Amino acid sequence: MHSSLRALVCAVLSVAPPADDRLAGVDQVAERIDQLIEQCWQSAAVSPAAPVDDLSFLRRATLDLVGRVPTYREATGFAADTSPQKRAGAVERLMSSPEYALHWGAVLDELIQGRHAGDREFVAYLRRGVAQHKGWDAVFREIMIGPWDADEQKPAARFLSRRVRDIDALTSDTSRVFFGVEVACAKCHDHPLVSDWTQHHYFGMASFFNRTFEFGKEKIVAEKDSDDINFVDRKGNQHTAKTMFLSGRVVDEPKFVVDPKLKDLKDRYKTEGKYLAPLFSRRAELVSVALDQREFFSRAIVNHIWANLLGRGLVHPTDQMHSENPSSVPDLLEFLSDDLAAHGYSLDRLIAAIVSSRAYQLSSTWQSAAEPPGDELFARAQLRALTPAQFAASAILVAGDSALDQAQTDDERIKRRQELEDKARALTESLDRRTTNFQSSATEALFMSNNPAVQQWLVPGGNNLVARLATLGETDKMVDTAAWTILGRALDADERNHLVRWIDAKEDRPAACSQLVWALITSAEFRFNH
């Protein structure tokens, strides 16, 4: 077993606290979410969509919590469950699965690293953190200042090391990811559209990073003792930037009396090619100020998570948090941010509360004759295209041999899921990335029609779906099994009759099975989280 995978298994099995402790109080948070959103609906004089049906909820939550569609066994078992608490039970089961850490580690990697996402060691670091239920504040601290001496913590430095030679990227990416602010537009002049952000804000944030550099052959992320940024405003006036947070709070650097022993130590380290950390770290001050004035920090991650789960942020776009762009649901962002900070910045609690809310569980279908409400009101679920990773993993899963259903232990489930990810990784570059107004491209359509790996799914072999369907003598049983496996639901009467007639009209039943599987996997219903 890969070392990072073994570490994750140990984390899941020995570190994770009981799920009911971790998610205590989630129902009350979900209830408050619903109260605030319902107040917003009443103010806007809109009625929400109907609640989503049980199996659509299961599919939606499974995609969001573990990054794949439900298996045949999960879908049919959920359909047979008569408990009134089955949805809450599904959320707890999914979040207690080791797949939850695997999926959300990858989600956080995309959020944090953006164009640099995909570094396996950094993803493994995040997955360990999710498995250990590490608070978002601890993740932020480790990424910004370490410690990076332990093997498990070393990858945390990758955010800085990927950008260390580009202070603009360090400044803008940190502000955007951790504080929900795109401050880059204020570099050359005060922001032309947002009065909150001036050049002093941009260079104030840059000053937290201008002393960061790579040291030595190992290229460790280090920090200099001194250095300032000078900039020129539009009027030609020169300024020495103050180290200033987005709130306007200025960090005053202490004056140190140089100890002769420290000077000797610095000289010796320099001669020996060793790094000695400065007495004052600006990045450490950034962490301190951000967590002290936590509004930017806590609201940004709440908004990011909300957007991931509901298709749009409470503040939209998610990197435009400022006074002229308030939350579309009054008081909700503030409530969730306060609750997050009061409970150790637990992302588990935040995610579980959102998924348990009424807003999350609304249908994406608008059946009223009235004009559908704006997306900013969250009065109906948004269609969200599956990410390439979700689409590829889900397609391979349903077309394959259901190995996940056969896993008996957490260790085995992680292994099976890792194998699924490895297979999916080869396909993701050819699949369309999720966008706001998503529409599959001709390139993706041709890929799904002609790629040899995709075509191999449709060849009967081993215990794959096409092979299993071909052994079923009754056509109605064949189409029912295909629908439950791929779509996670029963067919309605019209769908069932149409598919039965279509299969029965085919002389080559194995070929018909292949065509049926391909048609369902490439359907719009499968391509979207709805």
User: Which one, of 137, 22, 40, lies nearest residue 333 by Cα?
Assistant: 40
CA–CA separation, 218 and 157 (whole Å): 13
Q: What are phi and psi of 220, to 5 degrees?
A: -75, 150
Among 256, 227, 255, which residue's Cα sits nearest to residue 243? 227
β-bridge partners, 231:
239
Burial of 330 (0-12, 13-18, 19+ CB in 10 A): middle
The whole-angstrom separation of Cα 111 and Cα 106 is 9
Q: Find out whether 275 and 220 touch, Cβ atoms under 8 Å.
A: yes
- pLDDT value at position 15? 39
Six token digits for residue 528: 């979207």
CA 87 – CA 356 distance, rounded (Å)? 8
Closest C-alpha among 354, 360, 331 to residue 49: 360
Residue 13 CA to chain centroid, in angstroms? 23
Q: Is the peptide bond before 147 cis (omega within 30 degrees of 0)?
A: yes
Q: Using one digit for the tens of pLDDT, what is the confidence trace for 282-306?
A: 999 999 999 999 999 999 999 999 9
Paired sense of beta strands 220-223 and 212-215, if any: antiparallel
For residue 240, give the DSSP letter: E
CA–CA separation, 436 and 25 (whole Å): 33
Q: How far apart, in whole angstroms, are the C-alpha atoms of residue 79 and residue 70?
A: 12
Q: Tell me the Cα Rg of the chain.
A: 26
Residue spans of the chain under pLDDT 70: 1-21, 257, 401-402
How many C-beta atoms surround the C-beta of residue 208 within 10 A?
Answer: 26
Give the DSSP letter string of 218-229.
Answer: TTEEEE-S----
- For residues 30 and 26, give the distance between their C-alpha atoms in angstroms, rounded to a whole number: 6
Sign of the dihedral defined by the CA atoms of residues 425, 431, 435, 437, in that order: negative
Residues 6+ apart with CB under 8 A from 262: 279
pLDDT value for 355: 98
Cis peptide before 51 (omega within 30 of 0): no
CA distance 107 to 105: 5
Spatial separation of the C-alpha atoms in residues 412 and 194, rounded to whole Å: 52
pTM > 0.75: yes or no: yes
Residue 74 tokens, joined: 């999960």
